[in-house]
Amino acid sequence: MINIIFTLLVICAVGYIIYYYIKKNQNAEVEQQVNVDDKTYTLEKMTEFVKKRLNEITKVNLYDIGLSEEELKRRKQKKYELKKALKGCTYGDVNDKKYVKELIFDLLEKEYGVTETNISKSIPFDIPSLLTAQDKFDILIYAYKKEFAYEALTELIKKYNLAELKYVEGETKPSYVITSEEIEEIYERENIILEFEDKLNVVTQRIYQHYKGYSTIDEVRDMNIDGVSGGVSGLPESFLSQVAQTDGDYLDQIAEHKVPRACDSIWIFFQGKSIRLAFLSFGTEAELKRVCQNIYKYNNPGQLSDTNGYKINEMKDGSRVVVVRPSFSETWAFFVRKFDVKRSTLEQWFKGETGSQESIELLKYLVKGARIISITGEQGCGKTTMLMGMIENIYETMNIRVQETAFELHLRRIYPTRNILTFRETDTISGQEGLDVQKKTDGSVNIIGEVATDPVASWMIQAAQVASKFTLFTHHAKTFPNLVTALRNSMLRTGVFKNEKTAEEQVVQVLNFDIHLAKDFRGKRYVERITECIPVEEKNEYTFDHRKEKTLEGKFDKFFDNATHYFTKITDRQLYRYSNVLEYVDGEYVLTNPITSVNIKEMRNNMDATDVESFDKFVEEHWGKVKELKN
């Protein structure tokens, strides 16, 4: 009897073990029992749980579970989608980010047991006095994002005039900064009421950004702003060890966060202004390093290492990202620049200011007239945005070829039906080689995102002479003579020419117009001037008057006259002059000097009949009739 009972117990035990094993494998998404204690619902514990569960889901062997063919196929597809999303969200793909966040939301609610009563243990939603500035900012962005989507940060900044110069305690000069006090005051004024779902969404975002996102800048990076950067201010970690040996009091201030560290450095680029987000921080140097190591990885651009201390790449949404690291830079840092292609129109540059309509028309005629145009100005003044706006006016029949350091223009997003192809530099293909390839791709218009190196500048001048109908490019020159000098020096350094005058002559014969952009102290961007380059024709001033002289002294005088003309041409001959066609004066755009008849004639030759007629009216209205246009 005892043996029978023992046998039955063994059979039951074995049966239970088999049942448990099958049940466990059939539902790979069932989480082990959560041990509930005071720390269970903290952000750290929930982040650990999410990491573990997602790891289990992506690594489970579906063939060992014994699923039907249809169920196996469904599970495999789900597993593949999750793996793809987990990879894609680190590249800046907002759709993959949304997918991963929805999964985290479900895990927390259905498996981890987050409820209305315990969610406040992660973030104290119900006690505003315990919320940090970052907590309040996250809630504000979430609330605004529900109404304004990716314009949320822009609306918040505009509504409360946060992009204004202000004095901060401890600083003697005004700066662009958004402080913790401002965020706390805004939070009180908004009086946001959150439902349980809203609270869980905020918690989900916080967990996501420290797991797969870009830490505290994760939501900021997605917004429609000009850019975001980190690690560009504050004390680097290397400096702290030096201070520790010399100044203990200063080190105490740093420990109490009275002195910003490099990991406390978060800046946004908003409508031409660099604004410091003083209320946000990465928290640790390790977190800043993690963001830098992940943010540039789209399309596998290679490893960021101590030997190769910087990387220039683009993100999946088209943003340009530059990452630097020690020992190339003093600290880890990154720079993300965003280009809103939908807003890249000429109209946005002038915004109804006096003379804006005439300025827009002039720019359109310069492009339609196939003029070789440079766009110059300092960093951040909007050269790329201006270039995008000008391209709209290139005739549809013209094939466009683009050369860039990193993909920024993304013209095919705006004009998907046009013949456009963009090339960029890589580790193995230089800008010079890329431009060489362009010659063989039946392009009518060459666009060079930035003439930044001597070979590219040299080739651009040569290509503008023979390889394409016209060229548009950007450059960092401050004045028009500086632009000519820089291009001339590039020609000399690459060995194309040995003589300065010859090189300069080639530049001024090619370059037609320069559009110079400026950014004032308050971040306003505007067109400072449009300058026409006018080559000076060489005149033959030599004479044979010495033959008419009867005396030797008279012949010598005439000889020295000719010698003087010769040495003047060799040493100090003026190869060009320039005049401003348009200027920004006292807040108004003013058309000044007329375009030369040579350029007007060539512009008319490149326009269709309708544009020729309207261009003639434009010229006559502002500068009067230009003689012999149609000859």
Tokens coding 251: 């080190």
Report H helices in 276-399: 285-294, 347-350, 356-368, 383-391
From 111, 134, 153, give the residue that closes a domain: 111
Radius of gyration, CA atoms only, the chain? 33
Question: 389 and 434, same structural domain?
Answer: yes
pLDDT at 514 over 90: yes
From 549, 572, 595, give the residue that closes a domain: 572
Question: 489 and 434, same structural domain?
Answer: yes
For 127-141, what is the mean pLDDT? 93
Per-residue model confidence (pLDDT) at position 75: 78
Residue 3 lies in a domain: no
CA 394 – CA 388 distance, rounded (Å): 11
Residue 512 lies in a domain: yes
Give the torsion sign (CA, 143, 148, 154, 158). Answer: negative
Among 21-35, 216-230, 547-561, which stretch is predicted with the lowest mean pLDDT?
21-35
CA 315 – CA 299 distance, rounded (Å): 9
Question: 94 and 158, same structural domain?
Answer: no
Per-residue model confidence (pLDDT) at position 153: 95
Sheet holding 576-585, edge to edge: 420-424, 400-404, 445-448, 470-475, 373-376, 513-519, 525-535, 576-585, 588-591
Question: 246 and 141, same structural domain?
Answer: yes
For 354-370, what is the mean pLDDT? 91
pLDDT at 340 over 70: no
From 111, 136, 169, give the residue that closes a domain: 111
Which domain covers residue 568, as residue numbers? Answer: 539-572
pLDDT at 24 over 60: no
CA 615 – CA 625 distance, rounded (Å): 12
Residue 469 lies in a domain: yes
Per-residue model confidence (pLDDT) at position 463: 74
Question: 610 and 558, same structural domain?
Answer: no
Residue 15 lies in a domain: no
Give the torsion sign (CA, 411, 413, 415, 420). Answer: positive
Higher-scoring residue by pLDDT: 243, 261:
261
Per-residue model confidence (pLDDT) at position 484: 92
Residue 628 lies in a domain: no
pLDDT digits (tens, 9 = 90+) for 417-443: 889 998 888 778 877 788 788 778 888
Per-residue model confidence (pLDDT) at position 27: 41
Residue 630 lies in a domain: no
Among 205-209, 555-559, 583-587, 616-620, which stretch is predicted with the lowest mean pLDDT?
555-559
Could you give the C-alpha distances from 378 to 25, 272, 479, 517, 528, in angstroms and in order?
61, 11, 11, 8, 12
Question: 357 and 249, same structural domain?
Answer: no
Question: 413 and 309, same structural domain?
Answer: no
pLDDT at 77 over 50: yes
By three-state DSSP, how is residue 275 classified? strand
For 369-380, what is the mean pLDDT? 90
Question: 87 and 102, same structural domain?
Answer: yes
pLDDT at 413 over 90: no
Higher-scoring residue by pLDDT: 60, 570:
60
CA 564 – CA 477 distance, rounded (Å): 34
Tokens coding 512: 């037609």
Check if the beta carbon of residue 193 is closer than 8 Å to that of residue 209. Answer: no
CA 55 – CA 373 distance, rounded (Å): 54
By three-state DSSP, how is residue 125 classified? coil
Among 229-238, 286-295, 316-325, which stretch is predicted with the lowest mean pLDDT?
229-238
Residue 7 lies in a domain: no
User: Total domain count for the chain?
Assistant: 4
Q: Quickly state the pLDDT bin for 68 (edges 50, 70, 90).
A: confident
Per-residue model confidence (pLDDT) at position 275: 93
Residues 6+ apart with CB under 8 A from 137: 183, 279, 280
pLDDT at 565 over 60: yes
CA 358 – CA 346 distance, rounded (Å): 12
Among 166-170, 325-329, 458-462, 624-628, which stretch is predicted with the lowest mean pLDDT?
624-628
Return the DSSP state at 108.
I
For 555-584, what is the mean pLDDT? 77
CA 310 – CA 262 distance, rounded (Å): 18
Pairing verdict, β 420-424 and 400-404:
parallel
Question: 483 and 558, same structural domain?
Answer: no
Per-residue model confidence (pLDDT) at position 146: 92
Check if the beta carbon of residue 122 is closer than 8 Å to that of residue 346. Answer: no
Bond prior to 327 in cis (omega within 30° of 0):
yes
Report the CATH number at residue 382. Answer: 3.40.50.300
Per-residue model confidence (pLDDT) at position 559: 75
pLDDT digits (tens, 9 = 90+) for 458-512: 878 877 777 678 899 999 999 999 999 999 999 899 888 888 888 888 899 889 9
Higher-scoring residue by pLDDT: 133, 318:
133
Q: Quickly state the pLDDT bin for 258 (edges 50, 70, 90).
A: low
Per-residue model confidence (pLDDT) at position 522: 74
Average pLDDT, the chain: 83
Question: 413 and 397, same structural domain?
Answer: yes
pLDDT at 370 over 80: yes
Higher-scoring residue by pLDDT: 23, 493:
493
pTM of the model: 0.74
Question: 429 and 418, same structural domain?
Answer: yes
Report H helices in 173-284: 180-190, 196-211, 218-222, 237-246, 248-255
Tokens coding 223: 């917004």
Residue 20 lies in a domain: no
Question: 411 and 277, same structural domain?
Answer: no
Among 138-152, 336-350, 520-534, 576-590, which stretch is predicted with the lowest mean pLDDT?
336-350
